[in-house]
Every structure is written in C-alpha cells, then in structure tokens.
C-alpha cells in the first residue's frame, strides 16, 4: 500500500527569527553523496492533471504497462512517478530540493494538497528565500543567504523601493505573504506587462537601485506578475549559491523545469530535464544553447509530462534506476 508521508502545514515556517544552525551546510565527508534532484513545482514535479492520490495508483499504472494497454493517461503516470519520488526520498536514495517561484506558505500548502515529498531544503520566492527543515522542526530561513542578499541591496530595502515606484491604476501590490525582505511584487494587466516592466526598470535605473525586474503571466488566471529582485538573483543563482555552500558539484545535481523562468537553471551547467509539457519554443532555445556551448549531454528533453517526465529524465541520467521506478 502506498502511503503519503505527513506533510507540514503552514504553521511550520519560522518567520520571526533567522536561525543559523551549525550544520546548515555541513558536507558529508567520506560518504558517497546522494544524488540531488532540484525541481520546479508547478508543471514539473506537481502533476499537470491533478487527481486524488489512491493506494493503488502506481500498481494500476504498472498493470496497464505490463499488459500492453495504452498508457496515454498521463495523470496516472504522473501520480505513479510522484509515488516513486516519495518512496525514494523517504528511503534516502535521492535528495529532493524544491526550486520554485511560490512563496513559503504556498509551498507548504501544495506539499500537503498534492502529497509531495517533504524536502529538507526549499528555494522559493523566485530565488530570494532558502529554507531548511531539521527533523520535525519548522522550516527556517538560512541566515547566510539573507546576509548575502542584504549585501547586494545595501540600503535599498524593498520598503524604500515600494515608496519610490510610481503607482498606476492597473498596477497593484501583491498580497503581504507574497512580498519578502528581498522581493517586491505587483499585479498588472497582462496586456500592459511589458509596458510596466520597462517603466519600472527605468525608475530603478534612475534610483541606482541594485534590482532587476521580472515580468511573467500567471498560468492559472492570466494575471500579469511583476517581481523586483536583487540584481543577479533568480532560481538558478540561488541553487548555485546553495550548491557552493553545500560543496556539491554541479555534476551531482539534476535540475528539472518546464517554463521560461527555468531557462537560466536549465542552461547554467547542471544536468537538466525539460519535461514534455514544456513549450516547444523554450525546448528549442534550451537545446540550441547546449549545442552552442558543447554541452548536449547536459539536457534531456522528456516525452513524459510533468512528474512522469522528471522521472524519465532521472532514469536517463542514472540517478534513479529503472528497477526502482518499477517497484510497486
């Protein structure tokens, strides 16, 4: 019987204090390093076609596969893959780290709702927050990373920046939980996204503020989203910082993603998986980049969608065995 591990609730994030545990980045010397899967969530590790987890989801998929029946039901394949990742993570066969644009409370919520593995590490807030959980303690922000981003922005706090951004009728701040010490976020009309990004970029330049502006469209409701982040900061740079602190070689890490905001991580030197539901134009850009840089062995374009594509890529790279993926 497949069972989901207990997922933490939203109260299990320590917001008020920045704890620096002495073993935050202690490398495991003289111990074979566990393969690391760094993965985006929406459209990647989270199944694209949600379905309630069932005890026999994986065994049903295996039965269909072994009998030669059509396996076009991607929802079933994705849930079977998710069960595999939970099992391997629980057994310590693979270390999973989330790398997502979601804010912390949203990550905790979707872990519970989708039955995701409970990782020790989470990179969230578009790379501006790194959280760690020790045993059953709440997730806490890593102080060294907070200090790192503080050193980039200097006196230009997000509160100061917000007071200087000229407001427009269709530009509104996002909810408080989506703001951060190093992240200032707005909603806008998607049709005017480029216009607002250009205008804010101009204001940032005039202020001399060490920030970058990222515009995107919410795939769920079509809202325009604008994030102001410390210059040079994104999901890829945060993962790179984490890997350097962890003394983990890029060859040890496999990154999985599906969208344009994953491009940097997909092309920054990690072995990478682009899942089958990713935009084909993005796939062409990623492949072209690796071909131009002589690293075609560092990108795998999966045929499986979302979670199933992540598992497919992990098997291709050898960090998950075929036999492990077939266990019921």
Supply the CATH number for residue 263's domain.
3.40.50.1000
How long is the chain?
328
Whole-structure pTM value: 0.85
Residues 266 and 288 in one domain: yes
DSSP state of 250: G
Residue 311 and residue 195 share a domain: no
Domain that holds residue 202: 157-230
52 shares its domain with 142: yes
Report CA-CA distances (Å) from 68 to 63, 64, 72, 76, 88. 9, 6, 12, 15, 26
Does residue 285 sit within a domain? yes
161, part of any domain: yes
In this structure, the answer to whether residues 134 and 26 fall within a common structural domain is yes
Q: Are residues 126 and 50 in the same domain?
A: yes
Report d(CA 79, CA 49) in Å as an integer: 9
Whether residue 305 is contained in a domain is answered as: yes
Q: How many Å apart are CA 312 and CA 303, to the nearest integer?
A: 8
Q: Looking at residue 86, what is its pLDDT?
A: 97
Q: Would you say residue 15 lies in a domain? A: yes
Dihedral sign for Cα atoms in the order 52, 122, 248, 43: positive
What is residue 56's predicted lDDT score, i.e. its pLDDT?
56
- 278-311 in b/e form (b: 16+ CB < 10 A) is beeebbeebbebbeeeeeeebbbbbebbbbbbbb
Domain at 225, CATH number: 3.90.1070.10
Q: Are residues 195 and 260 in the same domain?
A: no
Helix axes 306-317, 74-90, angle to 10 degrees: 50
Residue 219 and residue 196 share a domain: yes
pLDDT score of 54 = 55
The backbone torsions φ and ψ at residue 205, rounded to the nearest 5 degrees and listed phi first, read -60, -40
Q: Which residues of 158-178 are buried (b: 16+ CB within 10 A; e: fewer)?
A: beebeeebeeeeebeebeeeb
Residues 141 and 258 in one domain: yes
Cα 2 to Cα 232: distance, rounded to the nearest angstrom: 42
Shared domain check, 119 and 23? yes
Question: Within a domain: residue 5?
Answer: no
- Tell me what pLDDT residue 41 has: 97
Count other C-beta atoms under 10 Å from residue 228's C-beta: 22
> Could you tell me if 105 and 210 lie in one domain?
no
Domains: count for the chain: 2
Assess if residue 1 is contained within a domain.
Answer: no
Q: What pLDDT sits at residue 104? A: 95
Q: From 230, 260, 275, give the residue that closes a domain.
A: 230
Is the same domain home to 62 and 129? yes
How many C-beta atoms surround the C-beta of residue 202 within 10 A? Answer: 11
141 found inside a domain: yes
Residues 46 and 61 placed together within one structural domain of the fold: yes
In a domain, 151, yes or no: no
Burial class (CB in 10 A: 0-12, 13-18, 19+), 274: buried
Are the CB atoms for 75 and 134 separated by under 8 Å?
Answer: no
The Cα-based distances of 16 to 12, 13, 139, 177 in angstroms read 12, 9, 11, 13
| Domain end call among 214, 230, 246 | 230
pLDDT at 169 (0 to 100): 81
4: which 2 tokens? 């989901």
Spans of the chain below 70 pLDDT: 1-32, 50-72, 328
Which of 195, 215, 230 represents a domain boundary (last residue)? 230
Quick check: 98 and 107 in contact, CB under 8 A? yes
Distance between CA atoms of residues 101 and 112, nearest Å: 17
């Amino acid at each position: 019987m497949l069972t989901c591990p207990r997922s933490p609730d939203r109260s299990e994030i320590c917001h008020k204090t920045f704890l620096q545990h002495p073993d935050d980045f202690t490398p495991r010397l003289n111990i074979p390093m566990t393969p690391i899967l760094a993965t985006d969530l929406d459209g990647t590790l989270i199944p694209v076609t949600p379905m309630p987890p069932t005890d026999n989801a994986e065994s049903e998929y295996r039965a269909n596969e072994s009998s030669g029946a059509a396996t076009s039901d991607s929802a079933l394949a994705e849930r079977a893959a998710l069960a595999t990742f939970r099992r391997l993570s629980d057994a310590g066969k693979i270390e999973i780290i989330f790398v997502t644009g979601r804010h912390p409370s949203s990550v905790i919520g979707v872990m519970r709702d989708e039955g995701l593995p409970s990782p020790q590490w989470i990179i969230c807030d578009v790379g501006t927050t790194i959280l760690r959980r020790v045993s059953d303690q709440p997730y806490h922000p890593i102080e060294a990373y907070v200090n790192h981003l503080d050193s980039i922005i200097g006196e230009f706090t997000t509160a100061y920046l917000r007071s200087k951004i000229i407001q427009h009728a269709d530009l509104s701040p996002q909810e408080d939980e989506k703001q951060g010490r190093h992240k200032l976020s707005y909603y806008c009309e998607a049709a005017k996204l480029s216009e607002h990004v250009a205008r804010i970029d101009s204001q940032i330049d005039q202020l001399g503020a060490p920030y970058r502006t990222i515009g995107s469209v919410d795939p769920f409701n079509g809202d325009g989203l604008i994030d102001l982040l410390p210059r040079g900061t994104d999901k890829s740079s945060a993962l790179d910082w984490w890997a350097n602190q962890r003394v983990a070689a890029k060859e040890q890490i496999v990154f999985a993603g599906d969208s344009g905001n994953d491009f940097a991580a997909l092309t920054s030197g990690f072995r990478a998986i682009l899942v089958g539901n990713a935009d084909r134009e993005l796939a062409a850009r990623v492949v072209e980049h690796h071909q131009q840089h002589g690293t075609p062995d560092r990108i795998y374009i999966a045929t499986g969608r979302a979670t199933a594509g992540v598992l497919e890529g992990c098997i291709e790279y050898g960090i998950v065995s075929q036999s492990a993926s077939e266990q019921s």
